[in-house]
Structure 1
Amino acid sequence: MELNYLVPAAGLLALLFAWYLAGKINNTDAGTDRMKEIAAAIHEGAMAFLTREYKVLVFFVVGMAALIAILGFATHGAESLQPQTAIAYVIGTVSSILAGFFGMQVATKANVRTASAARHSANRALGVAFSGGAVMGMSVVGLGLLGLGIVNLLFDNPNVVNGFALGASSIALFARVGGGIYTKAADVGADLVGKVEAGIPEDDPRNPAVIADNVGDNVGDVAGMGADLFESYVGSIISGVALAAALGINNGTYVPLMVAAAGIVASIIGTFFVRTDEGANAQKALNTGTLVASVLSIIFTYFITTGLLDTFTVGNNTYTGMGVFIATVAGLVAGYLIGRITEYYTSGDYNPVKQIAAQSETGTATNIISGISVGMLSTALPIIVVVVAIILAYKFAGLYGIALAAVGMLSTTGMIVAVDAYGPIADNAGGIAEMSGLDPKVRKITDALDSVGNTTAAIGKGFAIGSAALTALALFSAYTAAAKVSAIDLLNPAVVGGAFIGGMLPFLFGALTMQAVGRAASHMIEEVRRQFKEIPGLMEGKAKPDYANCVSISTAAALKEMIVPGLIAVAAPLIVGLTPGLGKEALGGMLAGATITGFLMAVMMANAGGAWDNAKKYIESGVHGGKGSPAHAAAVTGDTVGDPFKDTSGPAMNILIKLMTIVALVFAPLFM
C-alpha cells in the first residue's frame, strides 16, 4: 500500500528541514576568536565522549544482535523469535546513534552563535538557540520514522519490527545514564569547589571543571534527552502497530505511522510560530510554537483516524475511527497538561520554587526538606492526568486506544525535543559569554534565556516521563497479547513476587546511578581542588587550568559506571521470564510493578531537581539576600543534590521501564 512509502518520506522531510536549519546556523556569526576557541573545546569534548561511548556500545550491540539471531534460528514458526529481528535491532541502534550525533554536532555550534547573537539582542539569540534545538528534534523524528518505515517496508512483520524499538531502547538507556553521569560529575565538581569553596562565579574560566560542565550539558540534555524521546517515539508507534496486528484491526497498523508522520508536518509548521520579534517573551514564544504544533496535529489526526478506520470489533466490544481519534487526543492533551503541571512545580514564577527559596534562609537542611516535599507532592496531578487519559483511551478504543494515546502524546516530539534542547544551548551560551569576558549585558541576556531553558528542560522531562508511562503500558498490552497472557492475577503468588521485584528495580537502578554520580563527582572534586592548590596563579587568573584532565575524568567515569545499570535493565525481564516457577505471568507482574514505581520516582526526582535548580536562580535574581548570602549557599547545595535527581536517575527511570517492557515483547516467544 502506498501509505507505507509516506512514512519514510515524512522522516526524510524532517531530516531535510534539519539540514536547512543547520545550514542557517552555520552561516551565523560565531563571535570573537576567544569565543571560537572555547566553543571548539566544548565541541571536541562532546564529540570525543560520544565517539568513545559508541565504541563501547558496539560490543553490546553486536552481542545482543548475535543473541537474537541465534535464538531466532534455533526456534521456528510464525510466532517464534525471527532471526530478521536482529537486522531491525541493528537499524534501530544506528538510527538512535545518528540522531544523537547530528543533534550534538549542531548544538555545539549553535551555543557560541547564540552567545554572539546575544551581543545584538535577546530575540536574535533565542532564534539561534531554538534553531539549534530544532535540529535535534527533527533528527529524532526524522531518523525514527525513516528507519521504522524502511524496516516496515523490508519485513512487513510486526514481530520483526519490534527489534527496531529494542535497538532504540538499548542506545537510549546507555546514552541517558552515561550522559547523565558525565554531566553531573562535572556540574557537582564545578559547583561545590568553584562556587561554594572558592567563591568564584559559575562558568568562571579559572574553574578547571568548567569546560567539562559545558560539555556535560550537551551529552546529558541534548544527546541523552534526544535518545530518551527517540525511544519513546519509536516504542509508542511500534506498540500501536503490534496491537493492531494482534487484534486484527483493518488498517490499524497504518494509523500510528500516519499520525506520527502528520506530527512531523505539524512540528515543522510550529517552528515558524516561535516568533522572535523585539519585545517577545521567550517562554511565550516557545509555548506558542508548541501549541500550534499540537492543534495542527489534532486536526491531522482526525482525518487520519476517521478516514482509515471503519468500525472494528475486539472481543465483545465495537469501536470506531472517531473513538480512536478521541483516544489519541486524550494522550496529546495529557502530555500538554503534564508539561504545564511540571512548569508550575519547577518554574521560579510559581509558589513551590519560591517556598524552597524562602526555606533556604534557615539553612541547607530546610532547603533539602522543602525540595523533596515539592518533588513528592508533584506526583499527584501527573498520575491523575495519566489515569484519566488511560481510562478515556480504553473506553473509546480499548487496548489499541491506549497505544494511540501514547502515539498522540508523542506526535509532536519534533517540537518538544526542539524546545527542550534549546535549554542546554542557552546554558552553554552563558558559559561561553562568561569565559570570553563579554559585556555583562550579554550574560544577563543568556541568563534570562537559560532560566527559560531550565523550565523547558523540566517540561521536557515531565513530557518524557508521561509518555514513558503511556508507552510502557501500550508495550505491556502488546506483550500480553504476544505472550498470550489473559490476565495478571494478583492472587497468584508468582505474579505478586514479580510485582515486588519490579517495584524494587527502579529503587535499585536509582541507587546505582546516584552512587555512580557520587563516585564520579568525588574524583572531579579532588581534581579541581588539586589544580587550585598546585597550579600557581590559577586563582589570580594568571595561569590556565587543565580543562582536558577534567573532561577525561568525566568521560572515563561515565563509560565505566553506565554498564551495570544497563545490563540490569536487559537481564531482569529475561531472568524472570525464563525462571521456573515464575514465567510469563510473573514477568507481567514485574513490568506492572516497575512501571508504577518507576513513573512515581521519575516524576518526584525530576521535579525536585528542577525546583532546586530554579530556587537557586530565583535567589540569584536578588531575593533572600542574593548571591553570596547564606540562603544562596544552602540553595547551591540543594541544587547540587538535585542535579543527579533531575539529570541522571530520574530521567533514566523512563528508559528503564520502557526497555524492560520492549525486551519482554521481543523475547515473548521464549516465555510461552
Structure 2
Amino acid sequence: MNMELISALIAVAVSLFSVILGIYLFRWVGRYPVGSERMREIGEAIREGADAFLKKEYVILAFFSIAICTLLAIFLSISSAIAFLIGAISSGVAGLLGMKVALKANVRTATAADREGLEKAFLIAFRGGSVMGLLVVGLALAGVSVIYGITLKAEILLSFSFGASILSLFAKAGGGIYTKTADISADLVGKVEIGIPEDDPRNPAVIADNVGDNVGDVAGMGADLFDSYVASIVAAMVLGETLGVKMVVLPLILASVGILSSLAGVFSVRVRGEKNPGRALDLGTYITSAIFALATLVISMVLSYDLKFWGASMAGLVAGTVIGFTTDYFTSIDRHFVKRTAKASQSGAAITILTGYSYGLMSLLPSLVGIGVASGIAFALCGVYGIAISAVSMLAIVGMIISSDAYGPIVDNAKGISEQSGLSEKVISLTDKLDAAGNTSKAITKGFAIGAAGLTVIALLATYQERVAAITGQSITFDLMNPLVMLGLLTGLCVPALFSAMIMLGVSKNAFRMIAEIRRQFKEIKGLSEGTTRPDYARCVEIATTGALKELMLPSLISIGITLLIAFIGGIHALGGFLGGAILSGLFNALLMANSGGMWDNSKKYIEDGAFGGKGSDAHKAAIIGDTVGDPFKDTAGPSPLNTLITVLSLVASLISPLVILYAVFK
C-alpha cells in the first residue's frame, strides 16, 4: 500500500476517533439534570427558537447549494459537484450538532452552578463546547481524507472546500444578523430606556437574544472554523502536488497529530486551585500546543521530513498563539485599553466610540506584523508551500480552540437562564464569572481565526497562481503597474467593506423593527413592567428570524458576482489583483472590527462591575451605546464572515481559472 493511501487511512481513523469522542461528550452532558420547571421552560423556548431559525435557513441554503452543484457539474465535472455537496453537508452537520449540545449544556450549566458550584458548572460548559470542537475537526478531516483516498487528486478537494466555505458564509451572515438584531434591541430598550437588567425576563427580546448566541456564536462559528480548517489543508495539498507525494500527505499528517493533541488538551482542562476559568482555558491551549510541537518534531524525524518543514509549521503555531493573546491584550477587561475606553464613557457615547475605534486601529499593527513575520519565515524556509504548512499548523489545534470558543455562548446562555429563572445572586455572580472567561476566550479565538485566515488565503492565492501556471505553461506575476491588476486590486479592496456594510445595514433594519415591537409590548401589555405578566417572546424570535433570512443572501451573492465580473472581463491578471485587494481589506477590517467591538463590550462590563458610577449611570448608558456599535462589528460583519468571504473568493478564483483563461474579455 502506498504512502498516499496509508496517510489517508490514518487520517480517517483519527477523525472518526474524534467524532466518537464528540458523541461521547454529547451524551455525557445530557446525563446531567435540567433543574427547575422554570429553567426547563426557558431552555425549551431557546431550543425551539434556534431550531426554527436553522430549519428555515438550511432549507434556503439547500436550494442554493443544489443550484451551485448543478453549475459545477455542467462547467467543471460531476466529481467536483459531488465534492462540493459533501463539503456543504459536512459543514452544516458540524454546526447543527454543535448547537444541539450547546442547547443541552446551557441549562445544565446553570443547574450545576446552583447545586454543585463553579467547578462542575465549568466542566459541563467546556465539555459542551468540546463537542463542537471535536466534531468540526473530525468531520472536516474525514471528508478531506476520504475524498483524497478515493480520487488521489488534491485538486478535487478545492470543490469540497468551496462547499464548506459557501455554507459557512451564509451561516455566519444569517446567524450574525439574527444574534445582533436581538442583542442590540434588548440592550437599547431594556437597559437604556426601561432601566432593567440585561437578561430580565420582562424584556420581550431576551429569549431571541439567547437564541442568537446559539445560531450565531455556536453554529455560525463552527461552520466558519470548519471552512478555514479545510481550506488550509486543501491549499497545502494542492501546492504539494508539484513537490511529490510526501508533501501532498504532510497536511493530513499534521492535521491528524493536531486532533490527537487537541483531545489531550480538551480532557486536561479543569478548574482547580484558585478556580479561575480563564486560566484553565489558557492552560488547555498551552498543553495542546506543546504536545503538537513535540509530536510533529518526532514524526518529522521518523518519516525523514526535512526539519525546515517543521520550522514552517512552528512559525504558524507560534503566530496563531501570539495573535490570539495580542487580541486578548487589547480587549481584556483587566487591561488598560478597556479601562481607558470605559473612562471615556464619562464624556458621552461619541467619545466612547472614538476611543474604542482608535484603539482598534492601534491593535492592527502587532497582529498584521505577526501574520507577515510568520509568512516571511515560512516562505524563507520552504517557499509558498511553507506558508500553506504554517496555516495548517496554526489550525491543526483548532479542536481545542473551538472548544474554548463554544464554551462562551454556553455560559452566556447559562447566565441568562439563571437570571430569568430567579436563581440567587450568588449563582448569578458565579455564572457571570464563567461568562467573563467566555468573553476573553471568544476574543482570543477571533484573533486566532483571523491570523489563520490570513495565512490560509495567502496560500490560496498561491494555489490560484499555480493553477493558472499549470494550465498556461507560463509563470504568472501580478504587477501593480499593469492597469488590469490595479483595476482588480482596487475593486477587491472595496468588496469586504461593501459586504460588511450590507450585513450591518441588515442588522439596523431588523433591529428597528424589533425595537418598535419591544416598545409596543411595554406600552400595551398590562403588568409587563411590574413583572406580573409575561411578554410575547415568540414575536421577537419571529422578527429576528424573518429579517435575518431576508438579509443574508444579497451581500454574499453580490460579492461573488463582482468576483465573476472582474474575472471574465479583466482576465487572470485582474482576478489576481482582485484577490490581493480583497485579502488585505478583509484582514484589516476583520481585526479592526473584532478588537474595537471587544473593547466596547468589555468596557461596558467594567462599568457594570462598579466603575465610574456602575449600572444606571450616564457612563453606563454611553458604554451601552458603544457596545451596541461593537456588537455588529465583532459578531456580524467582522472576523468570522470576512474570514470566510475572502476564503470563498479565493476558492472561486481557483475553480474558475480554466474558464477565465478561455473566455475572459482581456486575456
Give TM class, smaller chain.
over 0.9
Q: Distance in 1 between matches of 2:301 and 2:58?
A: 43
Question: Where does residue 664 of structure 2 map in the other structure?
Answer: none
- What SS does structure 2 have at the residue aligned with 1:159? coil
Q: Please, which runs of 5 or more residues in structure 2 have no aligned partner?
A: 470-474, 662-667
Question: Where does residue 54 of structure 2 map in the other structure?
Answer: 50
Question: Where does residue 314 of structure 1 map in the other structure?
Answer: none
Question: Where does residue 315 of structure 1 map in the other structure?
Answer: none
Question: Which of 173, 177, 182 lines up with 1:177 in the alignment?
Answer: 173
- What SS does structure 2 have at the residue aligned with 1:84? helix
Q: Distance in 2 between matches of 1:292 and 1:571?
A: 44
Question: 1:343 aligned to 2:338?
Answer: no
Question: Where does residue 98 of structure 2 map in the other structure?
Answer: 103
Cα shift at 1:536? 1.0
* Alpha carbons 1:605, 1:645 under 8 Å: kept: yes
Aligned amino acid, residue 394 of structure 1:
F
Q: Distance in 2 between matches of 1:268 and 1:21?
A: 12
Q: Distance in 1 between matches of 2:271 and 2:191?
A: 33
Identity among equivalent positions (%) equals 49
Question: Which of 604, 615, 629 lines up with 1:641 in the alignment?
Answer: 629
What is the TM-score normalised by the length of structure 1?
A: 0.96
Q: Deviations over 1:606-640 (max 9, x none)?
A: 11001100000011111111111111010011001
What is the TM-score normalised by the length of structure 2?
A: 0.96
Question: 1:22 aligned to 2:26?
Answer: yes
Cα shift at 1:513? 1.1
Written as runs of structure 1 = structure 2, the 5 A alignment for 1:44-443 is: 44-72=48-76, 82-119=77-114, 120-245=116-241, 247-277=242-272, 279-308=274-303, 310=305, 321-443=306-428
* Alpha carbons 2:525, 2:535 under 8 Å: kept: yes
Question: 1:544 aligned to 2:540?
Answer: no
Q: Distance in 1 between matches of 2:371 and 2:158?
A: 25
Question: 1:618 aligned to 2:609?
Answer: no
Q: Distance in 1 between matches of 2:84 and 2:177?
A: 26
Aligned amino acid, residue 97 of structure 2:
F
Question: Where does residue 471 of structure 1 map in the other structure?
Answer: 456
Question: Where does residue 665 of structure 1 map in the other structure?
Answer: 654
Question: 1:10 aligned to 2:14?
Answer: yes
Cα shift at 1:3? 1.5
Q: Distance in 1 between matches of 2:303 and 2:357?
A: 47
Q: Distance in 2 between matches of 1:278 and 1:425?
A: 23
- What SS does structure 1 have at the residue aligned with 2:592? helix
Aligned amino acid, residue 560 of structure 2:
V
Aligned amino acid, residue 656 of structure 1:
L
Q: Deviations over 1:297-332 (max 9, x none)?
A: 11222234344465xxxxxxxxxx211110011001
Q: Distance in 1 between matches of 2:10 and 2:538?
A: 46
Aligned amino acid, residue 541 of structure 2:
V
Aligned amino acid, residue 472 of structure 1:
V
* Alpha carbons 1:271, 1:415 under 8 Å: kept: yes
Q: Distance in 2 between matches of 1:304 and 1:148?
A: 21
Alignment CA distance shift 1:639-1:331 (3 Å)? same
- What SS does structure 2 have at the residue aligned with 1:205? coil
Aligned amino acid, residue 459 of structure 1:
I
Aligned amino acid, residue 493 of structure 1:
P
Question: Where does residue 593 of structure 2 map in the other structure?
Answer: 605
Q: Deviations over 1:405-453 (max 9, x none)?
A: 1001001000000001100000000000010000111110111111111
Question: Where does residue 534 of structure 1 map in the other structure?
Answer: 524
Q: Distance in 2 between matches of 1:126 and 1:107?
A: 13
Q: Please, which runs of 5 or more residues in structure 1 have no aligned partner?
A: 73-81, 311-320
Q: Distance in 1 between matches of 2:295 and 2:170?
A: 35
Aligned amino acid, residue 220 of structure 2:
G
Question: Which of 540, 550, 556 lines up with 1:566 in the alignment?
Answer: 556
- What SS does structure 2 have at the residue aligned with 1:253? helix
Aligned amino acid, residue 253 of structure 1:
V
Q: Distance in 2 between matches of 1:309 and 1:386?
A: 28
Cα shift at 1:474? 0.6
Q: Distance in 1 between matches of 2:263 and 2:52?
A: 31
- Give aligned pairs, total: 650
* Alpha carbons 2:499, 2:556 under 8 Å: kept: no
Question: Which of 497, 506, 513 lines up with 2:503 in the alignment?
Answer: 513
Question: Where does residue 643 of structure 2 map in the other structure?
Answer: 654
Aligned amino acid, residue 180 of structure 2:
K
Which stretch has the larger CA shift, 412-421 or 1-10?
1-10
Question: 1:41 aligned to 2:45?
Answer: yes
Q: Distance in 1 between matches of 2:61 and 2:245?
A: 39
Q: Distance in 1 between matches of 2:620 and 2:165?
A: 39
Written as runs of structure 1 = structure 2, the 5 A alignment for 1:575-590 is: 575-579=565-569, 582-590=570-578
* Alpha carbons 1:503, 1:597 under 8 Å: kept: yes
* Alpha carbons 1:483, 1:671 under 8 Å: kept: no
Q: Distance in 2 between matches of 1:668 and 1:297?
A: 36
* Alpha carbons 1:113, 1:128 under 8 Å: kept: yes
